[in-house]
């Protein structure tokens, strides 16, 4: 075991262990990315150990429970039957063969990469690494992270070296493979989402490709970890820029009296050269609001200004302010000031039908409304309560959809499919719709923004 990947002639042994499902997989970070990976590898017959610093998560998983809406507890129990267990004891890292790191990479308050979760993870594992292991970073990050942060952290510890070529006698293999989770998307099986892999050297690339090939139907190997890191950023910046475009066009269309949703629908009938993107109250999720700033920050190291990307980020970040202004204007039209108005926000999640609050524009909008003196309540079927997070401190409870006419305004921020929008409009005094959730409904009560 100690010299399983001692040189290139040992690689067939790694492939054999993968094929026989004897390779032990460790996954660090059991959230929206890590836990689905646990299930994929468990389903393929691998013995998986999940690592997380959150003791409550560990206890729930070991009790056969799930804390993610789209993951059924039965899936957890099925994985347990195949050897899965969770732990907060990182000294067990030495007992696994592949280590997949799926921890958060948020932005700091100054829009610079916050690598503290990755750094803390490396501090927790480097003292337990042994020759023959594969370490793969999955967290979204800037190009160069794997080579500039992960590999040096391993080598600084002095326990093992990083294998960069087949001539090295022994050590740890290092690679990068970006997560491609799309919470709420049930139309694409996770196995059908191609997995991009970039290894620090040929051996690492082949070992990572072999491992992921058993859980994903297609693996795309690129030339380096940096190329894989840039691939992930390109995917999300592409979306960010196009969403910024339609957000800006929405603001123009509102002034021109044109329905942007009608325009997008008509443009989408073109069978080539156009892909529809849709406006909204702001960006949410862990990737799209964050990734452009990761690349902009890294670009400065090369004396390069990503003006186009930064502008898109600015446009999207301004959308919550637009929503608050629209609420204020709609109330003013009814001779009501925003201050002291009772407002019910529909939806806390960052997008429809998910239990994910990360970077949700709803959180910012609620705080902005409160700062303007409004009395704000919320309803979300996925969040009975909301407390304190990295960038918010709300401490609120979800309110029932009763007595809607007691609110001066009902604001639709997240268009969950469980909402009966016709009833909401009928029973409310005023509905401000930032998602086109009331499409097809005609009422003077509706203000679309």
- Domain chopping of the chain, boundaries: 8-223, 247-317, 319-449
Tell me, what's the pLDDT at 353? 93
Please give the pLDDT value at position 446: 96
Q: What is the model's pLDDT at position 170? A: 80
Q: Assign domain 8-223 to its CATH architecture.
A: 3-Layer(aba) Sandwich (3.40)
For residue 362, what are the contacts with CB-CB under 8 A and spacing of at least 6?
281, 284, 345, 347, 348, 349, 350, 378, 413, 414
pLDDT values of the chain reduced to their tens digit, one per residue, 449 residues: 344 444 444 677 788 888 899 999 999 999 999 999 999 999 999 999 999 999 999 999 999 999 998 899 999 999 999 999 999 999 999 999 999 999 999 888 777 889 999 999 999 999 999 998 999 999 999 999 999 999 999 999 988 999 887 666 688 999 999 998 877 777 888 899 999 999 999 999 999 999 999 999 999 999 999 999 999 999 999 999 999 999 999 999 999 999 999 999 999 999 999 999 999 999 876 667 777 888 889 999 999 999 999 999 899 999 999 999 999 999 999 999 999 999 999 999 999 999 988 889 999 999 999 999 999 999 999 999 998 876 788 999 999 999 999 999 999 999 999 999 999 999 999 999 999 999 999 999 999 99
Select which of 102, 253, 287, 409 is catalytic: 287
> Looking at residue 287, what is its pLDDT?
67
pLDDT given at position 33: 93
What's residue 293's pLDDT? 84
Beta bridge partners of 342: 375
Going by C-beta distance under 8 Å and a sequence separation of 6 or more, which residues neighbour residue 141?
105, 113, 115, 118, 229, 294
- Predicted pLDDT of residue 259: 96
**Is-catalytic flag, 409?**
no
- The domain 319-449 having CATH identifier 3.40.50.720: the answer here is yes
Give the per-residue pLDDT at 156.
93
* Partners of residue 432 on adjacent β-strands: 411, 447
- Cα–Cα distance for residue pair 320/170, rounded to 1 Å: 53
Q: Do the domains at 8-223 and 319-449 have one common CATH topology?
A: yes
């Amino acid at each position: 075991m100690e010299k399983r990947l001692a040189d290139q002639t040992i690689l067939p042994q790694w492939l054999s262990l993968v094929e026989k499902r004897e390779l032990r997989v460790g996954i660090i970070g059991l959230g929206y990315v890590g836990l689905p990976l646990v299930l994929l590898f468990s389903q393929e017959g691998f013995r998986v150990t999940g690592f997380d610093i959150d003791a409550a998560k560990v206890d729930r998983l070991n009790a056969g429970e799930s804390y993610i809406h789209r993951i059924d507890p039965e899936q957890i129990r099925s994985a347990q039957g195949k050897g899965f267990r969770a732990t907060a004891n990182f000294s067990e890292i030495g007992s696994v063969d592949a280590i997949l790191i799926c921890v958060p990479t948020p932005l700091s308050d100054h829009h610079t990469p916050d690598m503290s979760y990755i750094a803390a993870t490396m501090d927790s594992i480097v003292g337990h690494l042994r020759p023959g292991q594969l370490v793969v970073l999955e967290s979204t990050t800037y190009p160069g992270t794997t080579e500039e942060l992960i590999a040096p952290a391993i080598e600084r510890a002095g326990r093992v070296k990083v294998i960069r070529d087949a001539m090295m006698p022994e050590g740890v293999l290092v690679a990068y493979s970006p997560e491609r989770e799309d919470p709420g998307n049930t139309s694409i099986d996770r196995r059908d989402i191609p997995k991009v892999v970039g290894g620090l050297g040929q051996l690492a690339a082949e070992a990572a490709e072999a491992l992921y090939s058993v859980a994903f139907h297609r693996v795309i190997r690129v030339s380096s970890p940096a190329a894989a890191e840039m691939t992930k950023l390109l995917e999300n910046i592409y979306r960010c820029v196009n969403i910024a475009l339609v957000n800006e066009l929405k603001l123009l269309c509102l002034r021109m009296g044109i329905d942007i949703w009608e325009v997008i629908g008509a443009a989408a009938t073109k069978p080539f050269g156009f892909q529809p993107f849709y406006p909204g109250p702001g960006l949410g999720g862990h990737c799209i609001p964050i990734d452009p700033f990761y690349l902009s920050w890294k670009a400065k190291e090369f004396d390069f200004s990503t003006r186009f990307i930064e502008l898109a980020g600015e446009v999207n970040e301004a959308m919550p302010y637009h929503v608050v202004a629209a609420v204020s204007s709609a109330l003013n039209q009814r001779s009501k000031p925003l201050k002291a108005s009772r407002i019910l926000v529909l939806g806390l999640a960052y997008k429809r039908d998910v239990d994910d609050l990360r970077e949700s524009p709803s959180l910012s909008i609620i705080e902005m409304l409160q700062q303007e003196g409004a009395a704000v309540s919320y309803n979300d079927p996925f969040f009975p309560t909301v407390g304190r997070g990295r960038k918010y401190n709300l401490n609120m409870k979800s309110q029932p959809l009763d007595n809607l006419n007691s609110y001066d305004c009902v604001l639709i921020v997240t268009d969950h499919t469980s909402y009966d929008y016709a009833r909401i409009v009928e029973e409310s005094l005023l509905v401000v719709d930032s998602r086109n959730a009331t499409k097809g409904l005609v009422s003077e009560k509706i203000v679309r923004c």
